[in-house]
Amino acid sequence: MEIREITDGKKRYLELLLLADEQESMVDRYLREGTMFVLEDGGIRGECVVTDEGGGILEIKNLAVATDSQGKGYGKALIEYVARRYAQSFSVLQVGTGDSPATLPFYEKCGFVRHHVIRDFFTDNYDHPIFDGGVLLRDMVILRRELVARPQSAPQEMPEQIARTTEMEKKMIDFNEKKGFICDMDGVIYHGNRVLPGVNEFIEWLKSNGKEYLFLTNNSGYTPRELKQKLARMGLDVSEEHFYTSALATAAFIKDQAPGCSAYVIGDSALLNALYDAGVTMNDVDPDYVIVGEGKTYSLDTLTRATNLVLAGAKLIGANSDISGPVEKGIAPACRALISPIEMATGKQAYFCGKPNPLMMRTGLKLLGCHSAESVMIGDRMDTDVISGLESGMTTVLVLSGISTRETLDRFAYRPNVVLDGVGDIVRAANGLL
Ligand SMILES: [Mg+2]
């Protein structure tokens, strides 16, 4: 077997020449490492990301077959292998593919049904030389296939090698060489109103070393000014331009997709302000978009209006796909739960802009003026922070000061570049003390 590393603009591929009986083991490696790969002989190129947000969904992204290998059943073989292997752990297998007459019948034969379509998306992901000059995908279809259902609480059976993260943890990154840092807040900077250990030192290190940085939250209900004040109350001095929310990511996405468009918005003033700043006008008669975030304007009246506007053709957008969030006495439904009545009533699926959509990291990097290869994503969650950093090509740091533990880390088929106890360890690593 030969392995060659190819750097193609923003992305890194492993190009492999395999014998037929080696293919299964390479699929394992690919699932384990989350890297992209090319099987020259089999002609399969793909990126497989396992997501488990309580929905038990296994997802294959960007599966494509090289032009001269099409029609030989390699793609189907990969899908069948993945389905067989993970049927005990996941209830749904999901594949994103181009909306083309050539590929859809193939997926139907494999038992997939159309779930939803993302318009004008992923146009630049298929430009590798093996694809005969590139396949330009205008639309992406999300297809789903039921696997053998099993209770979600049951432990997943992951191969032993996936659980082995020790070697990876020892390999330290040179943080001095990195220019941009995108840092999740809850569970990384603070817990409730308590600042976590090492945070002051980390912020001082960012400032004194001239790093570009953003503090990020999926909540669309706070403006950068409110976040600055929240941190100031905890004794942390961070100015407004260093905050980044799913409201800002949503506004950047809408501005990029349809400059000067109009929207009907259910959400707080932070979301409205971000959209106004992006040149979006408010319209409750015939808007281009219906946009939903967290907020107190949510009611049966606003839901009913939103439902009818979506039925009349408005595109449905969610600021983030969080299902719930903590409040003082338990949890409160968050954006994804709030938007679902509109989805159910209209039969249309929303598109979500916040984490884990890597779009949020890409627009964040644009704000920082940094390339993904010179930037680091720091977060406390594998299923949102690490996955979106990884999918946008950044170096990923999982801190154990929040949600994820070493045990939950092992449940995922992808891994962060490094695992640290908290952000204070970044300063220690940068000073050669770790
Ligand atoms: Mg967090």
Which pLDDT tens digit goes with each residue over 11-38? 444 443 333 344 445 555 554 444 444 4
Q: Does 277 score more than 70 pLDDT? A: yes
Three-state secondary structure readout of 333-366: ECHHHHHHHHHHHHCCCCEECCCCCCHHHHHHHH
Q: What pLDDT sits at residue 136?
A: 47
CATH code of the domain in which 78 resides:
3.40.630.30
Q: Mean of the pLDDT values across residues 91-117?
A: 75
Residue 370 Cα to ligand 1 middle (Å): 22
- Residue 397 DSSP SS3: strand
pLDDT in tens, 162-178: 333 344 444 678 999 99
Residue 186 Cα to ligand 1 middle (Å): 4
CATH code of the domain in which 269 resides:
3.40.50.1000
Residue 109 Cα to ligand 1 middle (Å): 40
Which one of 297, 321, 352 terminates a domain? 352
Residues 54 and 182 in one domain: no
Q: Is 86 part of any domain?
A: yes
Q: Is 23 part of any domain?
A: yes
Residues 277 and 396 in one domain: no
Question: Quick one: what percent of the chain has pLDDT higher than 90?
Answer: 47
Q: Is 307 part of any domain?
A: yes
Residue 81 Cα to ligand 1 middle (Å): 34
Q: What are the C-alpha distances in Å from 245 to residues 241, 242, 313?
A: 11, 10, 27
Residues 99 and 138 in one domain: yes
Q: What pLDDT sits at residue 342?
A: 97
Q: Does 286 score more than 50 pLDDT? A: yes
Residue 271 Cα to ligand 1 middle (Å): 20
Q: Are residues 398 and 409 in contact, defined by beta-carbon separation less than 8 angstroms?
A: yes
Residue 385 Cα to ligand 1 middle (Å): 7
Residues 11 and 91 in one domain: yes
Q: Is 68 a catalytic residue?
A: no
* Side-chain-facing half-sphere of 231: CA atoms under 13 Å: 24
Q: Which of 186, 288, 322, 380 is catalytic?
A: 186
Q: Is 152 part of any domain?
A: yes
Q: Does 1 score more than 90 pLDDT? A: no
Q: Mean of the pLDDT values across residues 281-303?
A: 94
Q: Does 146 score more than 70 pLDDT? A: yes
Residue 60 Cα to ligand 1 middle (Å): 25
Residues 259 and 138 in one domain: no
Tell me how crowded residue 276 is: count the other CB atoms within 10 A of its CB: 14
Q: Is 380 part of any domain?
A: yes
Q: Is 186 a catalytic residue?
A: yes
Q: Is 150 part of any domain?
A: yes
Residues 10 and 152 in one domain: yes
Residues 326 and 372 in one domain: no
Range of the domain at 32: 2-161
pLDDT-derived band at 64 (thresholds 50, 70, 90) equals low
Q: Mean of the pLDDT values across residues 386-395?
A: 93
Which one of 161, 184, 205 terminates a domain? 161
Q: What pLDDT sits at residue 126?
A: 44
Residues 98 and 173 in one domain: no
**Burial of 50 from C-beta contacts in 10 A (0-12 / 13-18 / 19+):** buried
Contacts of 407 (CB under 8 A, 6+ apart): none
pLDDT-derived band at 295 (thresholds 50, 70, 90) equals confident
User: Any idea which residue has 């077959």 for tokens?
Assistant: 65
Output the average pLDDT for the chain: 78
Residues 92 and 191 in one domain: no
Q: Are residues 180 and 211 in contact, defined by beta-carbon separation less than 8 angstroms?
A: yes
Tokens (6 digits) for 153: 């609480």
Q: Which of 184, 268, 385, 425 is catalytic?
A: 184
Residues 141 and 251 in one domain: no
Q: What pLDDT sits at residue 155?
A: 38
Residue 345 Cα to ligand 1 middle (Å): 32
In angstroms, the first-to-last Cα distance of the chain is: 37
| Protein residues with C-beta less than 5 angstroms from the ion ligand 1 | 184, 186-187, 380
Residue 338 Cα to ligand 1 middle (Å): 20
Q: Is 231 part of any domain?
A: no
Residue 161 Cα to ligand 1 middle (Å): 27
Residue 51 Cα to ligand 1 middle (Å): 17
φ, ψ of residue 375 in degrees (nearest 5): -130, 155
Q: What pLDDT sits at residue 171?
A: 63
Least confident of 40-44, 56-60, 85-89: 40-44
Q: What pLDDT sits at residue 10?
A: 45
Which one of 122, 145, 161 terminates a domain? 161
pLDDT in tens, 80-99: 766 766 666 667 777 777 66
Q: Is 147 part of any domain?
A: yes
**pLDDT higher for 52 or 272?**
272
What's the distance, CA 239 to chain centroid? Answer: 26
pLDDT in tens, 319-344: 999 888 777 677 888 899 999 999 99
Least confident of 108-117, 255-264, 313-322, 378-387: 108-117
Residue 402 Cα to ligand 1 middle (Å): 6
Nearest to 79 by CA among 111, 50, 40: 111
Q: What pLDDT sits at residue 82?
A: 66
Specify the number of domains making up the chain. Answer: 3
Tokens (6 digits) for 268: 């707080």
Distance CA 72, CA 361 (A): 37
pLDDT-derived band at 104 (thresholds 50, 70, 90) equals confident
Residues 30 and 149 in one domain: yes
User: Any idea which residue has 């073989």 for tokens?
Assistant: 77
Q: What pLDDT sits at residue 202?
A: 97
Residues 119 and 169 in one domain: no
